[in-house]
Amino acid sequence: MRTPRLVVAGAALAAAFFALPVAALVARAPWSAALDVLARPMAREALRISLVASGAAVLLALALALPLAWILARTRFPGRSIVRLIVVLPMVLPPVVAGVGLLAAFGRRGMLGGALEALGVQLPFTLAAAVLAATFVSAPFLVLSLEAGLRGLDPRVEEAAATLGASAPRVAWTVVLPALRPALLAGTGLAWARALGEFGATITFAGNLRGRTQTLPLAVYETLQTDPGAALVLSLGLLGLSALLLVALRGLAARGPA
């Protein structure tokens, strides 16, 4: 069947809509000043904080998502669907609301503020807050992806491994993890990209302190007000970083199980 012209035209329009901003970034960036901008202390610090915060957030998200996905995929208990709803809520929550929520929970005057203070821990406006903000918004991608992956596994294969003498950690390492690899890579990619781009929750909960909590997206926003050309360069840097991440994870996924 021939594809209707209207559909072709609509698809072309959509593709253009998505391509144009990226093309504009490339076209309008002051390339001659690019190295200069990227060498600025502000840019280098923002890059470092972005990498540290998003990397730590992804690791923390993995640690939280694995047991949660396991429970959601493998057990039945009353209220399971409510738990899933709460866990994925950050995906649809406006990030600034997430930030306000984090403040209300972990802020100095928040619900756990007193308890944290007693322990000598102060979260808001620290790098740890930036990590928590990024974890809060990115972990749901991992939970959903890992839950789907675990559902696709046959628990009887793990039983077979146990009858062959494998301990639970050995079964997890040699049977479950390799089988979860595609879900793990896909979920990690999505979560990392989301953590890298996080803005609203971070600026609300961790603030915009240069050298301490200012991530690349925050630096882009701040620079845009005073030096639009530099903001374009930083944006391209962020774009390049995300693309690199995507390619790297794709490469890992394509290589198949080791």
Q: What does the binding site for other proteins look like in residue numbers (CB under 8 A)? A: 154, 156-157, 159-167, 170, 174-175, 178-179, 181, 257
Query: What count of other Cβ atoms lies within 10 Å of the Cβ of residue 103?
Result: 22
HSE-up of 207 (CA within 13 Å, CB side)?
Answer: 12
Comparison of 118 and 164: residue with beta carbon closer to other proteins: 164
CB of 64 to other proteins, least distance (A): 25
C-alpha 86/C-alpha 136 separation (Å) is 12
CB of 165 to other proteins, least distance (A): 4
CB of 170 to other proteins, least distance (A): 6
Query: What count of other Cβ atoms lies within 10 Å of the Cβ of residue 136?
Result: 26
CB of 208 to other proteins, least distance (A): 45
- The answer to whether the CB of 187 falls within 8 A of the CB of 146 is yes
Of 168, 170, 172, 191, the residue nearest 180 (C-alpha):
172
DSSP 256: -
